[in-house]
Chain A
């Protein structure tokens, strides 16, 4: 392989590494669960014009594909595993998503609310926690039940 080709490959790798480091920046995190082919919560509020990290837990025994034409996202979530996608920054509005493998039951929406409304009484991190802590607790409980069985 020529030196120029090696240099080109190195540059591409460095570029991707830099982009990956950029992605390590803290993003508000929201969680979603899939149980019996239903999303919990079915509606999730996120702040406008902010990129957020969405962590989806699949508690079913079959795979599911998180799909959204509004959000332009598509990701398989394997049974009993979690998956991560990033969405936004988005203008206020309602963005539908569904489970590609069970489109009739697994449906939900991301509701993007103005940042001021979302941060009226609390900051973004608190907002994320408010939504995700009960879910995380449920997730742990369910995992323990599954484990015990």
Chain B
């Protein structure tokens, strides 16, 4: 029970820590203070509890596929929110800075709330289901503390790594957000394949012999960039397309920001 709790906590909580650190870092660069995160956490806790109480009814909807549709739909939404966020991050500091910052904050809050609510509800299902079993509560509590400690350590390391790397390559943080959100898309496609809403006929390869998907490293890869040991052709194409779209958007946003910045500086000179 203890080990299982730690593993499940890592699976469900690590994405929350990772997206939080990526967004902290990105918004800090824009000079946005941390209050948005408190709002996101508060909203997520309330929504997780609501989802926990309704998830079994949702799961029974649409011929027992309601949960998959809900989760997959929200993961797709996460990807589009990330695209919007990326397009706003590169906008040059203009008189519309306040409007820009509002969009960035709304995107950050929405992303955090969705990831935290879905993953939080997953873990709460496990915790509440076994809390009253004999001798389970101690093991559950110890598992949560251990898992929380591991996640916090990874988050702190990631934060300082990003702060260090940022001095040299700003694009690293944006890339992390892109691969994280594309990873969520992969989760969505897996859910849709599971309920036969997407074809899952041909597996391209099985890389479990290289990195087993259920190993610690596999879980870490899954969280960071949506690692799937047995992808289908459709999933691979979608993965590549989603990354290309996000990179092209980031590139054009940065180019447009540079040209706008140049025009603005010309106007100031004249």
Contact = CB atoms under 8 A, between A and B. Distances in A.
Interface of A: 16, 19-20, 22-23, 27, 51, 53, 62-63, 65, 69, 72-76, 78-79, 81-86, 89, 100-101, 103
Contacts of A76: 55, 59, 67, 122, 125
A52 to B, nearest CB: 10
Interface in B167-225: 190, 192-198, 200-201, 208, 212-214
| Chain B interface helix/strand/loop/mixed | helix
Interface of B: 4, 8, 55-56, 59-60, 63-65, 67-68, 122, 125-126, 129-130, 133, 190, 192-198, 200-201, 208, 212-214, 228-230
A145 B151 CA distance: 44
B212 A84 contact: no
Nearest to B228: A72
B125 A63 contact: yes
Contact of B208 (A69, A75, A86, A100): A69
Contacts of A78: 55-56, 59
A84 B200 CA distance: 16
B59 A86 contact: no
A23 B230 CA distance: 21
B129 A83 contact: no
Contact of B59 (A69, A74, A81, A89): A81
Contacts of B201: 51, 89
A81 B60 contact: yes
A69 B227 CA distance: 13
Which 3 A-B pairs give the minimum distances between C-beta atoms?
A23-B196, A86-B196, A78-B56
